Amino acid sequence: MSLDTNNHYTSLNLNVDFLYAIKEGNTLRATAKVIREGKKIIHVECTIYDLEGTLLGKASSNLIVTNMQPTDGDFKVAN
């Protein structure tokens, strides 16, 4: 996921639902998407599945843009 922005975000809230246990070594598939993007706040959701398609967990968060700017060497999420 990429927010395609030159700003950092911080979470206003975070809700995580752990639906099933995950065994060490299992391969997972996570999908995240921006549900709504405003001028200052974005709402994002993430779902996590095993390879059989069982929903193992889900999360949602509201994030607010900060005044901090990324500098060289900062981690940037790729598409």
Question: Could you give the CA distance from residue 6 to residue 71 in angstroms, rounded to a whole number?
Answer: 10
Percent of the chain with pLDDT over 70: 78
> What letter represents residue 42's amino acid?
I
C-beta of residue 32 within 8 angstroms of C-beta of residue 43: no
Q: What average pLDDT score do residues 6-16 get?
A: 88
Superfamily of domain 9-65: Hotdog Thioesterase (3.10.129.10)
> How do residues 18-42 score in pLDDT, each as one tens digit?
999 988 999 999 999 999 988 899 9
